[in-house]
Structure 1
Amino acid sequence: MPNPLDRHIDALQRATRDLLAVAMRSVDEVTDLSLPQMRMLFALHDHGTVPSGALAHVLEVSGSSVTRLADRLCAGGYVRRSASAGNRSLVLLSLTDVGRGAVEAVLRRRDDEFREALAHLDPELRDQLAAGLTALHGHLSAASLSRAVVA
């Protein structure tokens, strides 16, 4: 007997592929950056100036991965490295205007694609979709946070 959640999981699997395609298209069409590089830019956009170690934690990658990504993004003018005023050995990373512009361009591209897709759904279904996705995001974010605290 099939699990009653199977059709919901199938729908989420399809939606994941669709959303990943939107994410990849938006990055490919407006930047020359990789998805991991854009992930770092989005994290800096969301969190502001942060120590590289904290950014590694947010991205769930090693410190050396953050260093390599930051090297490329600094060379491209997207990210700025600085030392903490209180601890000169602490490396801080922040977005430059170029990095902020890249994030904003990708977000605008995604907004356009989502707006076009949502226009084809009835308003009540859009409201239900937004409510369901918001609830799912809350659960997934909480689960991700609890995994990070345990680790």
Structure 2
Amino acid sequence: MENIQPDHCASSGPTDEEVQAFQTATRDLIGVALRSLEVLAGEVSLPQFRLLLALGDLGRVPSSQVAQALGLGASSVTRLADRLHASGHIVRGGEAHHRSVVTLELTERGRRLVEDVLSWRRRELSRLLSTLSPEQRAATAEGLTALHRAIDCADELVQHGPVPL
């Protein structure tokens, strides 16, 4: 049976220059993301922040769902959650009908920390994007949106979860 991809998943093969441009953009965007973590000022580690960021996206969810979203084992999430609970960044809960289910949720402190980091990123990206012409910004946004759709298609095929940073 022939494997037919939707139009937004189609590919004609990139040039080496195109791949290199995206390699450079990846490094640049990771640099922005990592610099934004300076807002944490040592309050939480990078792995702990990834968990906070996932909870910011997911809301109150079972810890097993967080583990799946981060691509981690349940025991790793439990260790991270232990530290974040002790520091007041998350609250643990449970399900009334399923005592073995442990839920995780951001506290106000955890939510504020995530918001601070994301606000820093928005300001930095706005500053950087303001150096481009409106046409360049529009073309870049359009290209990145198309890339995001392509990544979603690839993720659907290999069943990877999101890896927030």
If the length of structure 1 is used for normalisation, what is the TM-score? 0.90
Given that 2:62 and 2:104 are in contact with CA atoms closer than 8 Å, whether structure 1 keeps it comes out as: yes
Please name the residue that 2:17 is paired with.
Answer: 7
**d(CA) in 2 for partners of 1:142, 1:36:** 26
Unpaired runs of at least 5, structure 1: none
Unpaired runs of at least 5, structure 2: 1-12, 161-165
**d(CA) in 2 for partners of 1:145, 1:34:** 30
Cα displacement (A) at 1:92: 0.3
If the length of structure 2 is used for normalisation, what is the TM-score? 0.83
1:133 aligns with 2:139: no
Cα displacement (A) at 1:145: 3.5
Given that 1:80 and 1:95 are in contact with CA atoms closer than 8 Å, whether structure 2 keeps it comes out as: yes
**d(CA) in 2 for partners of 1:40, 1:108:** 18
Deviations 1:9-60 (A, max 9, x none): 1111111111111111111234422222111111111111111111111111
Relative to its length, the structure with more helix (as a share) is 1
Count of residue pairs brought into register by the alignment: 147
Runs of 4+, deviation exceeding 6 Å = none
Amino acid at match of 2:105: S
Residue in structure 2 matching 1:61, options 50, 63, 72: 72
| Residues 65-80 of structure 1 mapped to structure 2, 5 A cutoff | 65-80=76-91
- Please report the RMSD computed on the Cα atoms of aligned residues, expressed in angstroms: 1.6
Please name the residue that 1:21 is paired with.
Answer: 31
**d(CA) in 2 for partners of 1:61, 1:85:** 26
Please name the residue that 2:120 is paired with.
Answer: 109
Please name the residue that 2:157 is paired with.
Answer: 146
Given that 1:24 and 1:35 are in contact with CA atoms closer than 8 Å, whether structure 2 keeps it comes out as: no
Secondary structure at 1:90 match in 2: strand
Structure possessing the higher relative contact order (Cα contacts under 8 Å, 6 or more residues apart): 2
